[in-house]
């Protein structure tokens, strides 16, 4: 594992998608370069900034200022926080606001926020006037390492997470690690689950490095940029090989089949952040892999221990109110998993682990076996 880079060296990671290639700019205080970069990408363009109320309080004025300094006219669209905005109604509201702002095809949408804003603004940009380019300015750790990269955009259905959407690649990602200083500890931990995911699915050395350096990542040291850049490189490489998730890209969903079902069961609420659902889901995926004879039990325990050590939930019983509200039902969770985007011809697809650092895609696991596994886990087994 290479040594972490210093704060003074912004990192550029290219997402190599031929004519749709774009750069991810990572570093402390790189937000100040946004105006120059946008002006170079789209001379004369106007920008609509989509954000939420919380992010707006911290960063909207600063983004408007740096764009204004570059001579770029802006308008603002501010929505509510959280998954409640990733709905048909929220989507309609953003689309109508973009049209009212007279955003044209040669203009830009800037998604300023976490994963919800990136998904929502990107999806709206993909359809307004049959497609407007957009820039991701992710303000959460989860968005910087995962959701801002790769072009997946969308909203939730009452029947499941991210079931309505489109592939629409950004033209630029600017990931300023300084903005993460305003996150709550819980929000930062939730994003860290996606960082750990990259080690688990394809880089055992990175996972071992995370075990040794998590404290500095959380405290804001130079290890933070290194972790983000390593995660982005991993995702960019997979996306370049499989942009539309017809094969290998499904590996990036490690923990998500279980995690999305748990998010749906808790009403896409702040009772369970996305990254927290992924953390529980990765532990469940590891334990399922043990039952399938694919993964040594000590590896599953090691995964759960690291996630627990950084403060993430690792069992369904850790989810606030989950047991008390009657949601701890294997039948219900199986029904929710049946709506997962990776289902093919009615068969569930699971991402399993063969070792720390090696994941595999399986669509041949007996649903009855999974049901029994979930029932045992819900009983504390």
Catalytically annotated residue among 28, 260, 306, 342: 260
Q: What is the DSSP string of 133-191?
A: EEEEEE-SHHIIIIITSS-EEEEEETTEEEEEEEE---SEEEEEGGGGGGS-HHHHHHH
Per DSSP, the three-state class of 210 is: helix
User: 279-314 in b/e burial notation, b at 16+ Cβ within 10 A?
Assistant: bbbbbbbbbbbbbbebbeeebbebbbebbeebbbbb
194 is catalytic: yes
For residues 56 and 223, give the distance between their C-alpha atoms in angstroms, rounded to a whole number.
27
Can you say how many angstroms the Cα of residue 72 is from the centroid of all Cα atoms in its chain? 29
130 is catalytic: yes
For residues 369 and 365, give the distance between their C-alpha atoms in angstroms, rounded to a whole number.
7
168 is catalytic: no
DSSP state of 2: P
Widest pairwise Cα distance in the chain: 61
Considering Cα of 305, then 307, then 311, then 317, what sign does the dihedral take?
A: negative
**H or E, element range at 262:** helix 256-265
Catalytically annotated residue among 253, 263, 276, 342: 253
Catalytically annotated residue among 86, 189, 249, 306: 249
Catalytically annotated residue among 224, 233, 235, 306: 235
Catalytically annotated residue among 224, 256, 341, 377: 256
Closest Cα partner for 189 from 140, 252, 257? 140
260 is catalytic: yes
What are 16's two structure tokens? 């190599």
20 is catalytic: no
152 is catalytic: yes
Catalytically annotated residue among 64, 83, 194, 287: 194
14 is catalytic: no
Catalytically annotated residue among 37, 224, 274, 341: 274
Q: Which residue has the tokens 């290639």?
A: 21
How is the chain split among helix, strand and coil, in percent rounded to 5? Answer: 50, 20, 30
What are 330's two structure tokens? 């294997």
What are 42's two structure tokens? 């789209």
274 is catalytic: yes
**Are residues 110 and 55 in contact, defined by beta-carbon separation less than 8 angstroms?**
no
Catalytically annotated residue among 42, 76, 152, 342: 152
Catalytically annotated residue among 225, 243, 245, 276: 245
- Say how many residues make up the chain: 381
**Are residues 81 and 144 in contact, defined by beta-carbon separation less than 8 angstroms?**
no
Catalytically annotated residue among 19, 130, 344, 345: 130
371 is catalytic: no
Residues annotated as part of the active site:
130, 152, 194, 235, 245, 249, 253, 256, 260, 274
């Amino acid at each position: 594992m290479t040594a972490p880079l210093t704060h003074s060296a912004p990192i550029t990671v290219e997402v190599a998608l031929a004519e749709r290639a774009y750069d991810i700019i990572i570093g402390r205080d790189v937000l100040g370069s946004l105006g120059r970069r946008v002006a170079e990408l789209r001379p004369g363009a106007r920008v609509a900034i989509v954000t939420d109320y919380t992010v707006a309080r911290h960063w909207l004025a600063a983004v408007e200022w740096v764009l204004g300094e570059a001579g770029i006219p802006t308008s603002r669209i501010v929505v509510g926080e959280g998954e409640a905005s990733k709905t048909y109604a929220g989507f309609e509201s953003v689309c109508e606001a973009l049209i009212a702002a007279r955003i044209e095809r040669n203009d830009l949408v800037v998604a300023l926020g976490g994963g919800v804003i990136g998904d929502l603004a990107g999806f709206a940009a993909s359809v307004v006037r049959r497609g407007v380019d957009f820039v991701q300015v992710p303000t959460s750790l989860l968005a910087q390492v995962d959701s801002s990269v790769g072009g997946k955009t969308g909203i939730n259905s009452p029947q499941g997470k991210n079931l309505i959407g489109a592939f629409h690649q950004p033209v630029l990602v600017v990931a300023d690690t300084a903005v993460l200083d305003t996150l709550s500890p819980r929000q930062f931990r939730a994003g860290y689950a996606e960082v750990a995911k990259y080690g688990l699915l394809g880089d055992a050395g990175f996972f071992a490095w995370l075990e040794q350096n998590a404290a500095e990542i959380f405290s804001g040291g130079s290890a933070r940029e290194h972790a983000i850049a390593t995660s982005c490189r991993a995702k960019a490489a997979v996306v370049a090989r499989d942009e539309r998730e017809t094969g290998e890209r499904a590996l990036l969903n490690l923990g998500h089949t279980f995690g999305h079902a748990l998010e749906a069961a808790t009403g896409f609420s702040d009772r369970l952040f996305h990254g927290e659902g992924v953390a529980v889901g990765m532990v469940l995926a590891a334990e399922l892999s043990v039952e399938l004879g694919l993964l040594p039990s000590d590896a599953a325990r090691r995964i759960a221990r690291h996630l627990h050590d950084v403060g993430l939930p690792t069992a369904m019983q850790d989810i606030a109110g989950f047991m008390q509200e009657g949601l701890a039902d294997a039948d219900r969770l199986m029904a929710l998993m049946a709506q997962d985007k990776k289902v093919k011809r009615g068969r569930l697809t699971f991402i399993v682990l063969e070792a720390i650092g090696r994941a595999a895609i399986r669509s041949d696991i007996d649903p009855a076996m999974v049901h029994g596994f979930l029932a045992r886990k819900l009983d504390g087994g």
